[in-house]
Amino acid sequence: MTRPAPSNLSLDDILMPLAIAVVIDQKVRPVERTAFAELANGLLELFGHETMPRQALLDWFAASKDDLEDQLWDKGGNTLVLQALTRFTKPAHCEAVYDALVSIAVADREYVTEESRLIKSASAIYGYPRPPLKVTRS
């Protein structure tokens, strides 16, 4: 199978929504980091980028985490989420990003209000129904 032509999206563009899904509940758990790394490589392939070793992805996450959290908890949090999600416009790309967000949100078997809001935003932007998930903690 041939790899798709590289998209105009940067590594940061592709990984940012996934990183947001990991940190949005203010708990970074190992299972979420594992899901981030696995799903990131799937998205990188989809967007025509080279896949990366797991540790390189986790290093990217670690280097981006503090700045991302600062932006999320600042007044610009909603803007950051909107910008991260609206970079994707092709239906297949939107579906892949949406699936990845939902997978990360439930990876720790806890679905909280912050994650629900992120999925609600993605659902509205991409035109998908919200998954039938119940918030387990607010």
Which whole number is the average pLDDT over 91-105?
96
User: Which pLDDT belongs to residue 31?
Assistant: 97
Residue 124 pLDDT exceeds 90: yes
Q: Is residue 91 part of a domain?
A: yes
Residue 74 pLDDT exceeds 90: no
Please report which residue ranges of 29-90 form alpha helices under DSSP H.
Answer: 30-46, 54-73, 77-86
Q: Is residue 116 part of a domain?
A: yes
User: Which pLDDT belongs to residue 2?
Assistant: 56
Cα dihedral value 47, 27, 60, 78, nearest 10: 60
Residue 4 pLDDT exceeds 70: no
Q: Is residue 4 part of a domain?
A: no
Q: Is residue 49 part of a domain?
A: yes
Which structural domain, as residue segments, surrounds residue 92?
11-126
User: Which pLDDT belongs to residue 121?
Assistant: 95
Q: What is this structure's pTM?
A: 0.92
Number of folded domains in the chain? 1
Q: Is residue 95 part of a domain?
A: yes
